[in-house]
Chains A and B, each alone.
Chain A
Amino acid sequence: MSVAVPMPAAVPSMAGRVVLVTGAAAGVGRGVTEAFGAAGAVVALGVRRPEAARDAADAVRAAGGTAMVLRCDVTDAAQSAAAIAAVVEAHGRLDALVHNAVSNRSSEPTDFESASLELWEEHASVSVRAAYRLAVQAHPHLKASGGALLLMTSPAGIEGSAPLPFYSAVKAAQRGFVRALAREWGPDGIRVNSVAPLAVSPALEHLKATDPERVARLEGLVPLGWLGDPAADIGPPSVFLCSDAARYVTGQTLVVSGGRFTGL
């Protein structure tokens, strides 16, 4: 998937910087970690099952970065606190935290009218409550480094998706969180931004093999003509927002969708 597409040469440098990415084992999270690796960063991969992140960690190393894998179920406050503490203990600092993890059911069409609050909780606990919790837990370290918090949101959180109403709501909630927290933490020297990506997912990879015509139709909706590669297309803009190159950018959502979504 991501290894087939070459990384752009001009990824901003993150040499000497330490980044924690949640949900880093697959999809966009894995791609973003690879881009941070290409930028020369120390990348901590926060995942629920460390054994599932071995390939992703190898990809970070192959790209030129340093990788460490940490157990970090973001719905478990103790685990996320321990993961952040382990990163700082191992490397002495935390320069960026990227919250990418989403509910396993995030791409599952939801019948809003009859959906349960238990399902809502699955979405909200990962996207909304964990964003609050990770931010608070990382705050002293990001303040010390003059670092950045980055949330991976979604175009659905801007436009509102009919089949994904819960996902749309929690991803929009993240954007409200980002705007307000950017203003609150600006005086601490911490930048807070989000990326709304359109990217190839493992599900789409499968679809490519089984229904290439449908994938071609989806690609036809993208002005640039292809669905984003998690590493080569979504990664560099994500690195940019966490790098010194974006030191004057905060409170923003960068839509990385090949021009598919222009309504922000």
Chain B
Amino acid sequence: MADEGTTVVVGGDRGIGRALVEALAARGRAVGVVPSALDLADADAVRAELAAAAGDGAMTTAVLAHLDPAGFVATPLVALDEAAWDAAAERSLRAAVVVLQQIHAVAPDGAAVVVVLPTVAGVGVPGLVPLCTAVEGIRVMAKALARRWGARRITVNTVEVELSAFLLGDDEPGAGVDLPSVPVLGSPALPAGSVAADVAGLVDLLGSADAAGLTGALLAADRGTVMLP
């Protein structure tokens, strides 16, 4: 069980973020939400929302579970104009920069930061070049921050879920229906289960003293599907 404190989920109003909020609450966690609808490139707004979402408690765990929905609409790269490329790739990268900067400003020493991403960039998915670009950029950004923030005992780890699970329960454009399949070698090794519960368990673990020595890691909550690297 994680230490006392609030877990704030950025992007906790949709997809895996929303499901994660429910699963964490079911585990008895105090949970706050920063909605994806917020302009996540607005540093002041993000910082204020983080502080508000933490409520009276300290934000001991912060989860970034946001990627721009435009990235999930499968489109050949040559069919993307510059605005579409920006929406599908670079907007998510900019949001990650700002959100992670503000998490660092608000989080106390010893906090846990968890970045939730879909398992697309490790293998590459045709039709989703912008999404794969953003996801790998954010994943290694998290590793660089793990190295930077260790002196404050802040851990930064990444949890990846299957592509369709990232959009779980959403009715965003492209969600769940038109997604290309991720090239993998086989079916999940483990029987199907609740992705949200799987991720909530890992978030709880990463926010606990038991995981105080784990940072810069990639954990795949995909029941043994991709198994990379």
Contact = CB atoms under 8 A, between A and B. Distances in A.
Instruction: Specify whether A and B are partners.
Output: yes
Interface of A: 77, 112-115, 117, 120, 124, 128-129, 132-133, 135-136, 139, 156-162, 164-166, 168-184, 251, 264
B129 interface: yes
B93 interface: yes
Given A129-B90, A160-B141, A173-B136, 11 more contacts: A112-B100, A128-B93, A160-B140, A160-B143, A160-B145, A165-B141, A169-B93, A172-B141, A173-B89, A174-B133, A179-B132
Contacts of B97: 112, 115, 117, 120, 166, 169
What DSSP secondary structure best describes chain B's contact surface? Answer: helix
24 contacts: A113-B148, A120-B97, A124-B90, A124-B94, A129-B85, A132-B77, A132-B130, A136-B80, A169-B93, A169-B137, A169-B141, A171-B140, A173-B136, A177-B129, A179-B121, A179-B122, A180-B125, A180-B126, A180-B129, A180-B131, A183-B124, A183-B125, A184-B77, A184-B127
A213 B132 CA distance: 41
Contact of A181 (B90, B104, B129): B129
Given A128-B137, A179-B121, A165 B145 contact: yes
A44 B64 CA distance: 43
Given A175-B136, A182-B124, A139 B98 contact: no
**Chain B interface extent, by class:** 35 or more
Contacts of A162: 144, 147-148
Contacts of A120: 93-94, 97
A139 B129 CA distance: 14
B140 A172 contact: yes
B41 interface: yes
A196 to B, nearest CB: 12
Interface string B114-130: 00000011111111111
B44 to A, nearest CB: 13
Most A-side CB within 10 Å, residue of B89, B104, B123, B140 = B140
Interface in B138-152: 138-148
Contacts of A113: 101, 104-105, 148
Nearest to B183: A183
Given A112-B101, A172-B141, A184 B148 contact: no
B143 to A, nearest CB: 3
A214 to B, nearest CB: 21
Contacts of A166: 97
A17 B141 CA distance: 37
**Leading 4 A-B pairs by shortest Cβ distance:** A179-B124, A160-B143, A176-B136, A173-B137
B200 interface: no
A146 to B, nearest CB: 17
